[in-house]
Amino acid sequence: MRHPLKYKPAITGVGCISAAGINTGEHLVTINQKNRNAQHVPNWLFHTQKKFPVFICPQQALTETGQNLLQSFKLDIGKISIGRTAKLLFSAVAEAIEMSGLKIADLQKKRVGVAIGTTVGCAFNDENYYQAFKQGFNPPLNPVLNYLNSNLAYWLQTVIGVEGPSMVITNACASGADAIGIAASWLASDLCDIAIAGGADELSRIAYNGFIALQLYDHSPCRPFDKDRNGLNLGEGAGIVILEKENRVTEKDKIIGWLLGYGICSDAWHPTAPHPEGQGIVKAVKIAIEEAGDANLKFNLINAHGTATKANDVAETNALAVILNAQRNETPIISTKGITGHTLGAAGAIEAILTLFSLKQETTDGTVGCHEIDPSLKVKPLSEPERVKLTGKIGLSQSLAFGGGNSALIVEAN
Amino acid sequence: MPAVAISSLQALTQQQLDLPADYRKKLRRADEFTKTIINCTYLGLNSAPQLGIVPEKIGLFLGTSFGPLETNFHFLDSLLEDGEGQASPTLFSHSVHNAAAGYLTRLFSINGPAITISSYAWPFLAVLEQAALMLHSGIIDRAIAVSGEMYSPLLEHAGQQLEKSSYKFCKTGAVTWILDKITEKKKENNIIINKIAISYKPCNVATFLTRKGEECIVENENIKISELLSYAYLLTDQIQKKRSSGDKGEFKWCVKAPFGQANIILSF
């Protein structure tokens, strides 16, 4: 039995960037209006002959809020060489810090843990350098140095000038959720006073072609839980939460919500497919409930991983039928990947934030892209036209990953 | 950090690979990074006491600096040579950073948490610390802490350019420690990790690759380090020697580099 947390980590700031918006507010509008910003890969991102939909962020990646924060460190944006993933991350971090009301000078006096999930962000994907090296040339080393400067957690701590535990989690599509859970464990163990946690990933040609090669990619905008769903669409973005020890937050109205529990379990089943009955995610949710310390916990909203691959949506809904049991017909279940695409290492964090804000608004919209629910699913997620009033403040965000990873975050809105 | 017991330690390079036939079959598609990590963990688990812990209570913590980088390049080769739409799905799935962790969970029936982390500094020490936290939280009763790196000609070449020397990137290798909760019996017979403290500081990022200025300090002796995994090999070797010698008492170990410092306090 896992020990329940002595105190709930308070969420005092969040930041979000994806194709659905450059901040959390824009995401909520996009969800409300059920907008889909799916497009083909633009040439400024990378060249491809393939015409599959992607969900991408603005070309500049670094928002005005992000630029302002960087400039406050007297960093010349024109001179620093940071990758697209780092820019997306910093945009989300800047929004989260601003929302939390924390001052950088105060952060620099505290122990600040940084846990960031990513997939593309830890890979060396410079094709020009690689090809030149293979051909026996000595290409300029800038791409290698940029790569060595791209450990997101170390980089972020260095830029902000804070000290504390630091970790990049590379648990594939669950990385962002795991980063938040791990950061919470640092707070609980008093390794830090504040944690900046979440995930970030840019869209890369390698991941794009990898998912196409695996035949997991839909030619059309993705349709989570739909009877005609045919795979995922990749996206890019970042999601960040600021976690603080609740008893150290002096202004209680600053608290957006709480992280009640985190669970993680392995399927030990298949390299890329989930266990068909979702055994791992069932156990992960059970552990998260144990951590929340309330065996009778009821979810008022579930934001599923909902990638729209045939295998994921079946496994996940099978698991939810077990998790919810008698409440299976009364708990709203959605996927937000219809508006963000699958942002890989960022997904778990972005989705936890969207879950929290739907709970705060006491309303959820249905799953964009889901027009006719697959009748074979054991639970019935909300379809696109639906909008439901929520009856409580507790939500579950699920993440499933290559390698058989499963993670669950339970959040409560203030 | 809560104290935990080390029940087994192993270090292995690719040259020492010696997997049983049934594992070789299951790993026929795996890259050398995964095979080496699996072999090392196989040896580590075999030399640890069999405690009958259920799969849900075993956690896996894998730390790496560069992960299966060469497999990533092999996928890129496949993409460049075969063209879009023809790239190898197998290579792609193996190029994902946590692919090795997936193999470990499947081959050793680990149903607890599996966490892969990426750090250019000391990924093995980072996973030891996280494993100890999870053991203490009660979520797991046993932790498998692993670190591995894969030889990379590209990074070796880059290191040589940076250093203007005959810099060598580490050979493919792995280190595995099996960690258990401390029981009264373990207190007497095992090696206990009492503390791990890691701190980082800004540096010239080239040193993450070249390891220039990295050194271990143990019992007033400074030992220079020149390769990526050396700190983990050295720590494992020194603990094994101390255990063999039958020495008792506290053992302090430190690693320093331009990018930070880590201290471990153990007791025998």
**Tokens standing for residue B157:** 């070449």
Each residue of B141-179: pLDDT tens digit? 999 999 999 999 999 999 999 998 889 999 999 999 999
Q: Which pLDDT value is given to residue A222? A: 98
Q: Which pLDDT value is given to residue B182? A: 87
pLDDT classification of A153: cutoffs 50, 70, 90: very high
Q: What is the mean pLDDT of residues A295-304?
A: 96
CA distance B24 to chain A (A): 17
Flag whether pLDDT at A327 surpasses 90: no
Flag whether pLDDT at A35 surpasses 60: yes
Which residues of A are identified as catalytic?
Answer: 173, 305, 342
Q: Which pLDDT value is given to residue B85? A: 85
Q: Which pLDDT value is given to residue A414? A: 96
The CA distance from A205 to A189, in Å, is 40
A-chain residues near B137 (CB < 8 A): 2-3, 185, 188
Each residue of B43-92: pLDDT tens digit? 999 999 999 999 999 999 999 999 999 999 999 999 999 999 889 999 99
Dihedral of alpha carbons A289, A294, A296, A301, sign: negative
User: Do A145 and B206 make contact, defined as CB atoms within 8 angstroms?
Assistant: yes
User: Do A205 and B79 make contact, defined as CB atoms within 8 angstroms?
Assistant: yes
Q: Which pLDDT value is given to residue B118? A: 96
User: Do A172 and B98 make contact, defined as CB atoms within 8 angstroms?
Assistant: yes
Q: Which pLDDT value is given to residue B187? A: 60
Q: Are B39 and B21 in contact (CB under 8 A)?
A: no
CB nearest B75 (choices: A145, A206, A402): A206
Q: Are B124 and B63 in contact (CB under 8 A)?
A: yes
B-chain residues near A191 (CB < 8 A): 1, 133
Flag whether pLDDT at A4 surpasses 60: no
pLDDT classification of A5: cutoffs 50, 70, 90: low
The percentage of chain B sitting over the pLDDT mark of 90, rounded to a whole number, equals: 88
Nearest to A336 by CA among A311, A369, A309: A369
Return the minimum-mean-pLDDT range out of A37-41, A250-254, A390-394, B111-115: A250-254
User: Do A141 and B55 make contact, defined as CB atoms within 8 angstroms?
Assistant: no
Return the minimum-mean-pLDDT range out of A57-66, A218-227, A378-387, B164-173: B164-173
Q: Which pLDDT value is given to residue A217? A: 97
CA A402 to chain centre: 15
CB nearest B84 (choices: A48, A144, A264): A48
Interface-testing mutation among B64, B70, B76, with chain A (most A C-beta atoms within 10 A)? B76
Each residue of B4-33: pLDDT tens digit? 999 999 999 989 999 989 999 999 999 999
User: Which residues, numbered 189 to 248 in chain A, qualify as contacts with chain B under a Cβ-Cβ cut-off of 8 Å?
Assistant: 189, 191, 205-206, 209-215
Return the minimum-mean-pLDDT range out of A243-252, A364-373, B224-233: A243-252
User: Do B134 and A185 make contact, defined as CB atoms within 8 angstroms?
Assistant: yes
Q: Are B249 and B268 in contact (CB under 8 A)?
A: yes
CB nearest B209 (choices: A148, A167, A178): A148
Interface-testing mutation among B29, B103, B111, B144, with chain A (most A C-beta atoms within 10 A)? B111
Q: Which pLDDT value is given to residue B87? A: 93
The CA distance from B28 to B5, in Å, is 34
| pTM, 2 dp | 0.97
Distances in Å between the Cα of A289 and the Cα atoms of A1, A33, A409, B55, B77 are 11, 33, 9, 19, 45
CA distance B183 to chain A (A): 17
The CA distance from B134 to B137, in Å, is 5
A363 touches chain B (CB under 8 A): no
**Closest chain B residue to the Cα of A403, Cα to Cα:** B102
A-chain residues near B88 (CB < 8 A): 213
Nearest to A127 by CA among A55, A204, A221: A204
Flag whether pLDDT at B1 surpasses 80: no
Burial state string for B51-81 with b = 16 or more CB within 10 A and e = fewer than 16: eeeeebbbbbbbbbbbbbbbbbbbbbbbbee
DSSP 3-state of A116: strand
Q: Which pLDDT value is given to residue A328? A: 86
Q: Which pLDDT value is given to residue A303? A: 98
A-chain residues near B206 (CB < 8 A): 145, 148
The CA distance from A15 to A350, in Å, is 8
The ranges assigned to domains in chain A are 10-413
CB nearest B118 (choices: A130, A170, A182): A170
**Tokens standing for residue A119:** 């997939």
Q: What is the mean pLDDT of residues A292-317?
A: 96
Query: Number of H helices and number of E strands within chain B?
Result: 10, 10
Judging by DSSP bridges, how do beta strands A394-401 and A237-245 pair with one another? unpaired
Name, in order, each residue with C-beta under 8 angstroms of A1's C-beta and a sequence gap of 6 or more. A290, B138
The residue written with tokens 């960040």 in the block is A240
- Which residue type is seen at A361? Q
| CATH 3.40.190.80 applies to domain A10-413 | no
Q: What is the mean pLDDT of residues A129-148?
A: 95
Q: Which pLDDT value is given to residue A1? A: 44
Nearest to A163 by CA among A151, A178, A177, A153: A153
User: Which residues, numbered 142 to 171 in chain A, qualify as contacts with chain B under a Cβ-Cβ cut-off of 8 Å?
Assistant: 144-145, 148-149, 151, 154, 157-158, 163, 165-171
DSSP 8-class letter at A247: G
A-chain residues near B34 (CB < 8 A): none
Helix%, strand%, coil% for chain B, nearest 5: 40, 25, 30
Flag whether pLDDT at A7 surpasses 80: no
CA distance B241 to chain A (A): 30
Q: Which pLDDT value is given to residue B140? A: 96
A321 touches chain B (CB under 8 A): no
DSSP 8-class letter at A371: S
Distances in Å between the Cα of A185 and the Cα atoms of A4, A157, A189, A245, B109 are 11, 19, 6, 11, 25
The residue written with tokens 């990924």 in the block is B123
A280 vs B186, higher pLDDT: A280
B-chain residues near A132 (CB < 8 A): none
What's chain A's average pLDDT? 95
Q: Which pLDDT value is given to residue B2? A: 74
**Closest chain A residue to the Cα of B118, Cα to Cα:** A168
User: Which residues, numbered 89 to 118 in chain A, qualify as contacts with chain B under a Cβ-Cβ cut-off of 8 Å?
Assistant: 118
User: Do A404 and B96 make contact, defined as CB atoms within 8 angstroms?
Assistant: no
DSSP 8-class letter at A49: S
Flag whether pLDDT at A73 surpasses 60: yes
User: Do B85 and A212 make contact, defined as CB atoms within 8 angstroms?
Assistant: yes
Neighbours of B263 (CB within 10 A): 16
**Closest chain B residue to the Cα of A135, Cα to Cα:** B154
Fold of B4-267: Peroxisomal Thiolase; Chain A, domain 1 (3.40.47)
Distances in Å between the Cα of A72 and the Cα atoms of A62, A69, A91, A112, A161 are 14, 5, 14, 19, 12
Q: Which pLDDT value is given to residue B189? A: 67
User: Do B138 and A3 make contact, defined as CB atoms within 8 angstroms?
Assistant: yes
